[in-house]
Amino acid sequence: MPRPPPIAAAPQFPMTSLLCGGALVVSISQMLGRGIEPLVMDERAFWAQPWRLLTSALPHGSPAHLIFNLLWCWILGTHAEHFLGRWRVGVLIILSAAGSAAAEFALYRGGIGLSGIVYALFGTLWVMSRIVPSLRGLMTRNTALLFLVWFVLCILTTWMGWMNVANYAHAAGLGIGVLLGFAYAAKDWRRWAGWLGAVGLSISAILAAWVWRPYVNLRWTDALIERAQPFLDQGQDALALPMLRAAWERDPADIALAFNTALLSFRTGDVPGAIRVLARWSADGRGGNEMSGLAIALAGQTLATYPWDALVIAGYAVAFDPANADAWDVLSAARFAVGDVTGAIDAAESGLSADPSLGGLRERVQWIRTVGYRQWADKEDGHG
């Protein structure tokens, strides 16, 4: 491959220079501890902050990541800008940045770095070197082999857990670049096919990330949680609940999802929905202090208005953590609220066995035996 121009020639390649300079400034700022959160890819790119589709290419995870991408961006970008002109390279940068960022976000999670654009530049120059006779030596066999081997190695190292590489961004960038190579260099029907393919691939990636992400993302649960998060941040619990519940149904063993789905169901007035989560957690043979504590809180809040629901929830609180005296306490209160006086005493005494120091439970037993029986007896007489 021909040698790239020196850095002093940067004004002659405004698109490449602007891209490399922006990545350098943003990445160094990031490494110095400056906040770059407004630039990285997340759900807000599709409803309030579309610039994230482009700016997520500027930060880098490490100095080595930055240097590698800047090196190849300069080599490939200056050659592309020399043969294609600044505006065509500008179109390539926009389509590949947005398409690769959206593809990575749609299928996995948001990535950072110039890699998607670098692979697009490689794909375009590789196709042009095969189509345009005067550019035969532009992309050497060794350079093409290096990029393809690196592409495969990144997939393998990610799969083996050695590195976390944005492989979907690489693939999308390469695909867009190859299609643009035909769009820029071909003289027949392949030119229009290349344009339609490149634009269509970028738009499809954006739609996949925007509309279809919960259904195409390989991290289904995380995608649903991320989609629900903006609504939770705005206090729109009713809009977030269906996504959170769908995430929990896909991963019912996740205690955080179970906890938050039950809590959100309760907060939106769906008490049966909260009970279904607790029932599923119990049926799967799971327990835990966290879920027991949640059930205790929910039972306490429903006791006055929905005593029978409170009784069911309190039963799950005990099932999740039989050694929790507070669970027995709320179960005792719920049983008394529905008229099971003997059951209320039994629950309170079980709580005392779990924690004899709880004087409140002892007082509850004494109160039920002296006052509670009489109250329920009076109610029964009144009904009679």
Residues annotated catalytic, as ranges: 115, 170
Torsions phi, psi of 12, nearest 5? Answer: -80, -10
Identify the burial level of 285 via C-beta atoms within 10 angstroms of its C-beta, where 0-12 means exposed, 13-18 middle and 19 or more buried. exposed
Which pair of tokens denotes residue 180? Answer: 């643009």
Q: Would you tell me how many other CB atoms lie within 10 Å of the CB of residue 55?
A: 21
The single residue listed with the structure tokens 């929990």 is: 248
CA dist 13 and 89 (Å) reads: 10
DSSP string, 243-263: HHHHHHHH-TT-HHHHHHHHH
Q: Would you tell me how many other CB atoms lie within 10 Å of the CB of residue 290?
A: 14
CA dist 179 and 184 (Å) reads: 9
Q: Where are the alpha helices (DSSP H) in the chain?
A: 14-31, 52-55, 63-84, 86-107, 115-131, 141-159, 167-185, 189-210, 213-216, 220-233, 237-250, 255-267, 271-283, 289-302, 307-320, 325-337, 341-354, 359-367, 373-383
Amino acid in position 382: G
